Amino acid sequence: MQHRIVVLGAGYTGAIAAGRLAKRLRREDVAITLVNAEPDFVERVRMHQLAVGQELRPRSLAEMFADTGVEVRLAEVTGVDVDRRTVAVTDPDRPGEDRELEYDTLVYALGSAWDHQGVPGTVEHAHEIAGRPGALRLRERLAGLDAGESVVVVGGGLTGLEAATEIAEARPDLDVSLAARGGLGDWLSPKGRRHLRKVFGTLGITAYENAAVTEVAADHVATADGAAIPAAVTLWTAGFAVHPIARATTLNVTDTGRIVVDGTMRSVSHPDVYAIGDAAMAAGPGGKPLRMSCASGTPTAWQAADSIAARLTGGKLPNAPLRYFNQCISLGRREGLIQYVTADDRAVRAALTGRFAAVYKELVCKAAAWGVANPTLGVPARRRAVTRAEVRPAAV
């Protein structure tokens, strides 16, 4: 009987994990199912580009995983019962009708969405670019703006910086500003901060620093100090929230709903469940939690897939480097910033800036997409036989 592995979510981490499992294990020993709500892989790190009108190459999951032995199941996950080892899904052509998938090993990679943080008016009036639908809605709204109208990006993290600069470069006729809770790029090195301010100045972006947004209205955002910043369009990038399904299970999760895992990405409460990417509360160097990012997600996917393969085949457990090397920030199409960091993500003095940094970031994005689009890295044959699979009876 085949060992049933179900991977939930085909973002960067889920797709990488499914492909890596297909590369590590023999096809006759395992049945790998990859469940995703959309038929295409979405390059989430490029949503700010999609929002300003750039076209992204479609990447069909069915084509990507053809001949790998991974079954792509187009469905929305509506629930997980970790005690019965089942996943409830709804097929797009049968809305409202749940079906169950049984698993022996579950890889939970449902990721995250935008976090409106309960700020009044955000849900009603703000846009988000945490996924393709949101980016397309913003794209349509930006296309309808007249010259001189204002766009406010809320959030001074990597997503906010990339979005503000991309919009300002693509639409120099708009009045673009960014509201940051702290100082502009205050986590960067001095060189990094200087370059960021230079780019903001060149693009004409107004930075509102130490400006915590307390309300979003149809035509402005209000800040904690009583200021009102005009906004024909508000883009909210102030953090991400994980998918709520894990919180509804008996899994051990954090207050924010992230699944607590050990060093192999295995749930500390349910050993047949692995969590990767944004969904996992994983520890990096010094026990510091990994931040939600592609830089964190990819090594967690490697670690989980290789750990599953090792446990099923009697191999040695892996030790993927769950650490950071740099923060890659695009500042439009012609400028970039590569901030080198310590293993636990603290900025060091060294930073790469300018056109070369933009090329560097583009190569990183292309390499990440190539890795997902070639899930077995050209080696589709399974290499090791399953020797320790424990298959439960079908759920009742």
The residue length of the chain stands at 396
Across the chain, what does the average pLDDT equal? 92
Using the predicted structure, report yes or no on whether residue 208 has a pLDDT greater than 60.
yes
Two tokens, residue 12: 């960067």
The residues facing 154 across adjacent strands are 179, 236
pLDDT mean over 54-80: 93
Encoded amino acid at 219, one letter: D
The C-alpha atoms of residue 191 and residue 186 are separated, in whole angstroms, by: 11
- Which pLDDT score, from 0 to 100, does residue 396 have? 39
Using the predicted structure, report yes or no on whether residue 380 has a pLDDT greater than 60.
no
Using the predicted structure, report yes or no on whether residue 391 has a pLDDT greater than 70.
no
Cα distances (Å, whole numbers) of residue 183 to 77, 179, 207, 212, 292:
39, 10, 9, 11, 21
- Which pLDDT score, from 0 to 100, does residue 43 have? 93
pLDDT band at 147 (very low <50, low <70, confident <90, very high): very high
The C-alpha atoms of residue 371 and residue 365 are separated, in whole angstroms, by: 10
Cα distances (Å, whole numbers) of residue 282 to 156, 263, 278:
24, 7, 9
Encoded amino acid at 263, one letter: G
pLDDT mean over 326-353: 96
Using the predicted structure, report yes or no on whether residue 379 has a pLDDT greater than 60.
no
